[in-house]
Amino acid sequence: MKRPFVVAVASEKGGVGKTTIATNLAVYLKALHEDLPVTIASFDNHFSVDQMFALGPQPEGNVANLLEGCPIEELAVLGQYGVQYVASSQRLQPPGHDPAWLRQRVSASKLEGILILDTRPILDWFTEAALLTADLVLVPVKDRAALINAGSLRKIMADAGRAEKVWLLPSLVDARARLNAEVRVYEFLVYGARERDYQVLDICISKSPKVEGLASGFSSRIWPVLTHARNTSVHGQFKKLAEFVLSNSATETFEDRSDSCGEGGLAGLPAARRRKLILECPLCCQQSLHADGHFFFDLSSRRRGFLHPDCCDQLFAELELDVVTSEEILALTIEGLGLVGPESRLTAHLFDADETLVASEDLGKEKSRVHNTLPMIIGRPLDAAYRELVIINCQAMSPAEQMGDDLYRRFASRRRKIARELRLAGFF
């Protein structure tokens, strides 16, 4: 990496598990990738980072020195579990700079690997600076209030043209808790987040008394889940979260490969629009950006790309739905705990030019081209999918045209209407 991959854990609401997530994420990242430098710093004043990672005498520098202009690589010291940390400070004063200044400082540093920034439960200069510095923002939500408060964080990222870096993470959720006999709290949070067009991780950090006890006791030391709570479900959840962060930090961006693909025509697009762009057709696995294709978009992972017209015709040929005009949209929904779940289903839906649901078709569980292609689109096996919505444009056009401002925004508006229509119909 030319600069560290920055992960900010942020929420305006306190008590949602920000610091627990930030500190344990650092430990799990290091455990999964021993050679990867992992650094953590906190803008909060509770010293939890120090209590988990401090090793040896108190460092001379701290996060306050970072805000004074000291290079972060000179402040980071090696701590427990192989994680580097920047010592916390009791009192921090915002420097006389715009919050975007911090991103410039981190980008110009010699720090490598992954940098995790823990934030305060308030939207102040420090939280805004962490957001603008981040390549990935994790927003823990445990209730409706946290879900509502996430809007101000997303607005900051949207104003910076990087809203797609924000991911909501259900946190401290009791797996047994229900709003009523049918709806679990977790399902409500996911539904409410997606209704607001948020990206939501299919990971839930469960509420666990044993994990909560790791930060209390006679010792001032805070223990990580990896070493002291491996027999809890939270252990597997943090492992999945670390794998998600690693996959994002290691994702080869389109800019890195544009020369080899010969598609300089897309180089001028916003980076967020190209970040999850898949360069190959998911059916034939051949380069798909050299000619007209059918644009696809996965709502959960935000992966996007193009199907070759011939490949798309093969998919359409397996459906009973009759695609009549190029203005129509095909939507594919996966509902349930993967296709192996007893109540799960894979359904195809056809929408007309006005985003009105025309017809739906249950595709069952019998393997077909659709079943084989979907894992390439969503980036995971079907039996690992929870709820997915994939939208395919029935009109073939050039990638540069489809990814341009006007048509891309038009497609985004159409997919939002389609998602709402499917939710109202009970399919998603």
Q: What is the CATH number of the domain that holds 42?
A: 3.40.50.300
Is the domain of 68 the same as that of 207?
Answer: yes
Structure tokens, 354: 């006005």
Backbone angles phi, psi at 145, to 5 degrees: -60, -45
Is 47 contained in some domain? yes
pLDDT score recorded for residue 251: 53
Residue 19 has pLDDT above 90, yes or no: yes
Domain boundary among 250, 278, 294: 250
Domain that holds residue 183: 5-250
**What tens digit of pLDDT does each residue of 72-114 get?**
999 999 999 999 999 999 889 998 888 989 998 898 889 999 9
- Taking the model in full, what pTM does it have? 0.63
pLDDT score recorded for residue 166: 96
Is the domain of 241 the same as that of 286?
Answer: no
Mark out the alpha helices in 92-143 (DSSP H runs). Answer: 101-107, 125-133
Distance CA 377, CA 331 (A): 13
Per DSSP, 324 falls in state -
Is 256 contained in some domain? no
Is the domain of 192 the same as that of 291?
Answer: no
Structure tokens, 36: 């990867």
Short-list 200, 221, 197, 199, CA closest to 23:
221
Short-list 80, 86, 72, CA closest to 27:
80
Domain boundary among 220, 250, 280: 250
Is the domain of 22 the same as that of 131?
Answer: yes
Residue 1 has pLDDT above 50, yes or no: no
**What tens digit of pLDDT does each residue of 28-47 get?**
999 999 999 999 999 998 89
pLDDT score recorded for residue 107: 85
For residue 295, the one-letter residue type is: F
Residue with tokens 């095909």: 330
Q: How far is CA 71 from the centre of its chain?
A: 28
Is 379 contained in some domain? yes
pLDDT score recorded for residue 5: 95
**What tens digit of pLDDT does each residue of 201-253 get?**
989 999 998 998 888 766 678 999 999 999 999 999 999 999 999 988 875 33
Is the domain of 172 the same as that of 207?
Answer: yes
Residue 17 has pLDDT above 50, yes or no: yes
Is the domain of 216 the same as that of 290?
Answer: no
- Mean pLDDT of all residues in 12-36: 94
Is the domain of 211 the same as that of 317?
Answer: no
H/E stretch holding 294: strand 293-298
Residue 254 has pLDDT above 50, yes or no: no
Is the domain of 246 the same as that of 266?
Answer: no
> Cβ(276)–Cβ(248) under 8 Å?
no
DSSP 162-182: -GGGEEEEEEEE-TT-BSSSS
Looking at per-residue pLDDT, the higher value among 280 and 134 belongs to 134
Is 226 contained in some domain? yes
Using only C-alpha atoms, the chain has a radius of gyration, in whole angstroms, of: 23
From its phi and psi, is residue 406 left (phi > 0), alpha (psi between -120 and 50) or beta?
alpha
| pLDDT, the chain, mean | 86
Residue 367 has pLDDT above 80, yes or no: no
| Structural domain total, the chain | 2
pLDDT band at 9 (very low <50, low <70, confident <90, very high): very high
pLDDT score recorded for residue 242: 95
Distance CA 237, CA 225 (A): 10
Is the domain of 228 the same as that of 339?
Answer: no
Is 255 contained in some domain? no
Is 272 contained in some domain? yes
Distance CA 390, CA 205 (A): 26
Domain boundary among 196, 219, 250: 250
Distance CA 423, CA 417 (A): 10
pLDDT score recorded for residue 351: 94
Residue 350: Cβ within 10 Å count: 22
Residue with tokens 């939501």: 200
Structure tokens, 123: 């939207």
Is the domain of 282 the same as that of 223?
Answer: no
% of the chain beyond a pLDDT of 70:
91
CA separation (Å) from 335 to 94, 220, 246, 376? 46, 45, 27, 18
Is the domain of 394 the same as that of 331?
Answer: yes
Residue 382 has pLDDT above 80, yes or no: no
Is 257 contained in some domain? no
- Mean pLDDT of all residues in 249-276: 57
Is the domain of 109 the same as that of 20?
Answer: yes
pLDDT score recorded for residue 418: 94
**What tens digit of pLDDT does each residue of 139-194 get?**
999 988 999 999 999 999 998 888 999 999 999 887 677 777 667 777 888 888 88
Is 384 contained in some domain? yes
Residue 405 has pLDDT above 50, yes or no: yes
> Cβ(138)–Cβ(149) under 8 Å?
no
Structure tokens, 171: 């946190």
pLDDT score recorded for residue 260: 38
